Structure 1
Amino acid sequence: MPRWLLFTACLIVAALAGWSMWRALPAPEAPIADPVVTSEAGVRSDVSLVAIEPVMRAEDYASSEAFAARLRTYLQAAQTSGLLTPRSIAVFPEHAGTWLVASDAPRAVYRADTVTGAMTALVAANPVNFTGSYMQSRELDRMAAAIFRMRAVSMAEGYQQVFSGLAAEFRITIVAGSIVLPGADVEDGQLRTDTRAALENVSAVFAPDGSLHARLARKVYPIPSEAGFTAGAMVEELPVFDTPAGRLGVLICADSWHPDVYSALAGSDLLAVPAFLQPGNVWDAPWGGYVTPWPDDVDRGDAGRLTEGEAWATHALAGRLADTSARAGITAFMGGSLWEMGSDGAALAVNANGIHSAQRTSGGQVTALWIQD
């Protein structure tokens, strides 16, 4: 064999060996949990809406076990504070499940400084699967769509496993934030995906026995950062869920700003909004206005006049509950800074007595609103 050919072969073998070792490196351990602040509004009863606002870090998505362990600390805090009953509904934030796209990935994914860096590491670790998914994707943001498609099956399995387990462990109803999946549906009690279908931002509801409700809440109004790879659902597709606490409607983040979504959920006793607000430190900044179609019932002059937090209290769930059949509702926001994606927000709980806003802190929060039968 010619020396140059032998040398080339050795280089290829060395490169493949190095790539395999790099790909197999485990993720770093998740950091110690932040203190969890609990608060409550109303007179204690058998029914509570509980906003779970975890501080999440990249390492929390290293595996389903790490993800479950982080979320469990918040439910344990709620339980210790006496905020959970068999008729409680715990609401997790939007995209709580989406970052399971990074589950069981190489260490480089969790050490990346940015979302782009993490995505690049995921692609490098799965070049063949990514190529197939990329060829299948036709969305504007083709790379993001391909990554979610190639990880869809494991994401759906981890999402259901974790939230089903937590619902059964604490014997409560759980609104499991949301997750981006292609062709998501429920078949025979299992969350299924179809990589040939469009990606959607969906939310699942789990009963106190851990079972998955037969339908999913789907986001109708994707915001610009999602619109490049997710499709909006039809408002007529939105379900109302039967729970031990009453009939529940789920509006994913921006949907809570639109009156037609509330009309579709007529007959709901309670409303839950999983939310995700970017960037960090925006809550007290001037509100920039709608990034989805502007409803006719909103004064355009409020843009710049209201702060972001005031706009959430005026034009989203807290300001719209009185025009619905629901007795109460709660909005839960994500905390932390995943891959330098800052987030902001503080839980908003609302009923006929007014709005209860959680204190903003740098740590995780649990906020309960007690409902009178």
Structure 2
Amino acid sequence: MRKLLYLTCSMALIAVLTTYAMWAADRPVGHYLSDLRIHLAIDQGTPSDRGNLLGIQPELYPTDYQSPERLHRKLAAYLQSAREQGLLNDKTLVVLPEHIGTWLMVTGEKDELYQAGTLKEAMNWLAVSNPVQFARAYLSAKGSDRLDDAHLRMKAKSMAKQYQALFGGLAREFGVTLVAGTIVLPEPSVREGQLKVGHGALYNSSLVFGRDGAPIGQPQRQLHPVFDQTGVLHANTERAMSVVDTPAGRLGVLIGSDSWYPDNYRKLNAAGAQLIAVPAYVVGQGSWDKPWRGYKGLTTPSSVSLKAGEISEGQAWHRLTLIGQPPSSLATAGISVFLRGQFWDKSSAGQSFASSQGQHYADEDGRGARLLNLWL
């Protein structure tokens, strides 16, 4: 009797595990419908042989990441719209927003993840659907928030490969230099022309791709992750800020709130940066107009007198992003591009803006997908 009970339980367990394995491996591709339109919100200057700085503020949702092909279709539609309006040439420098690559973590998942009501629920589906990958990532997690660390780390190798294939492919397809927003990866680096990941801490990083689709230089890692991300993201304390040569001029990249620190502009000045790209992301519906929360637990630079609550979040971004404001920045032009859309219960609120020759250009509407163009 005992042997029979043991056999029955064993067979039941095997059946359950087999069913779970089949469920976890199944990745059906659901119906996809997305708005591919984009509005030209800013177009300043006169076309010349010096090229242009083009910011693309996309409007993205979880289903846009269901496959790399879907995300390519949407971003390619934006670039095609820019091409049709005469905004692409051999010296065009395209800038995409912060974390546009990070959401590749949800590529190729089950319908239940995309249909989740909250980000927390979606991350639970991510872990349940990839039990072995999640377990390995959790055991190797480095941050104090091991759960979020594991979610970001578990598909890092495939994310890096998809990021380079997608954004390098777009740069080559449209013949532009492309600042591919940012992606969170463990110790990213370019080796023999390929974006690779390590086994250490997670960094929010940006990579520039040339017109041939190949990476230019090493990933720029974020220097100052905001306070509510420091349990997961590591601050760049080892690598110097990099400036890369592009057909439009020498380019520096400041990720998100790195653009709030005057010393970063002095370092870019010393490196000869002529153009500055700021991939950015502000979370929370209506947060652009809410009181600014300050440096969010990080040290406030001594040269900054602005205090939390004095102005709105949006006003703070305009005040602190010092592109084209000598002597802080000697760059001739720059652009801050924000990610728009909604990822489950996390909406976005940033409104992209640009500076050129000391003039400031803001997109007062800021909703939806937008193009911001500066002729150099």
1:31 to 30, 33, 55: 33
Q: Of the candidates 326, 332, 339, which is equivalent to residue 337 of structure 2?
A: 332
For the structure 1 residues 53 and 258, does the alpha-carbon distance in structure 2 shift closer, same or farther, using more than 3 Å as the test?
same
Alpha-carbon distance in 1 for matches of 2:22, 2:166: 29
Distance in 2 (CA, whole Å) between partners of 1:11 and 1:353 is 69
Deviation, structure 1 residue 5? 3.8
Following TM superposition, by how much is the alpha carbon of 1:254 offset from its aligned partner in structure 2, in angstroms? 0.6
The letter of the residue matching 1:30 is Y
Give 1:32 shift: 2.0
1:218 corresponds to which residue? Answer: 221
The residue number in structure 2 matching 1:187 is 191
Aligned: 1:163 with 2:167 = yes
Local SS of the residue matching 2:336: strand
Aligned match for 1:203, one of 203, 206, 228: 206
Q: Displacement, 1:235?
A: 7.2
Q: 1:269, CA displacement in angstroms? A: 0.6
> 1:6 is matched with which residue?
8
Deviates more, 1:224-233 or 1:31-40: 31-40
Q: 1:320, CA displacement in angstroms?
A: 4.5
Out of 278, 287, 291, the position equivalent to 1:273 is 278
The worse-fitting range, judged by mean Cα deviation, of 172-181 and 32-41 is: 32-41
Tell me if 1:54 matches 2:81: no
Q: CA deviation at 1:28?
A: 2.7
Question: Are 2:95 and 1:75 aligned?
Answer: no
Q: Which amino acid aligns with 1:238?
A: M
Is residue 34–residue 64 contact of structure 2 (8 Å, CA) maintained in 1?
no
Name the SS of the counterpart of 1:247 in structure 2: strand
Aligned to 1:231, which of 226, 229, 234? 234
C-alpha distance in 1 between matches for 2:48 and 2:228 = 40
Deviation at 1:275, TM superposition (A): 0.3
Tell me the equivalent position of 2:48. 45
Q: RMSD of the TM alignment (CA)?
A: 1.9
In the superposition, the TM-score normalised over structure 1's length comes to: 0.93
Partner in structure 2 of residue 136 of structure 1: 140
The equivalent of 2:118 in structure 1 is: 114
Partner residue, 1:323: 328
Query: Any conservation in 2 of the 1:235–1:261 contact (CA below 8 Å)?
Result: no
Shift of 1:280: 1.9
Q: Is the 8 A contact 2:324 2:333 kept in 1?
A: no
- Selected match of 2:300 from 294, 312, 315: 294
Ranges in structure 2 where 5+ consecutive residues have no aligned partner: none
| Whole-angstrom distance in 1 between the partners of 2:374 and 2:30 | 36
1:68 CA displacement = 1.2
Deviates most, 171-180 or 112-121: 112-121
Give 1:234-273 correspondences, 5 Å limit. 234=237, 237-266=240-269, 267-273=272-278
Preserved contact between residue 182 and residue 197 of structure 1 (Cα < 8 Å): yes
- The runs of 5 or more residues in structure 1 that have no matched partner are none
Counterpart residue type for residue 230 of structure 2: A
Question: What does residue 359 of structure 2 align with?
Answer: 354
Which of 98, 101, 107 is matched with 1:103 structurally? 107
| In 2, Cα distance between equivalents of 1:85 and 1:351 | 19
- Cα deviation, 1:201-230, whole Å, max 9, x if unaligned, reads 000000011111131111000012321111
TM-score of the superposed pair, with normalisation by structure 2:
0.93
Letter in 2 for 1:221: H
Counterparts in 2 of 1:234 and 1:265: CA distance versus 1, 3 Å: farther
**Can you list the C-alpha shifts for 1:111-167, whole angstroms capped at 9, x where unaligned?**
122221111111111212221221111311101212222211000000000001100
Q: Match of 2:303, as an amino acid?
A: D
Whether the 8 Å contact between 1:235 and 1:264 is mirrored in structure 2 is no
Q: Contact 1:235–1:260 (CA<8 Å) still a contact in 2?
A: no
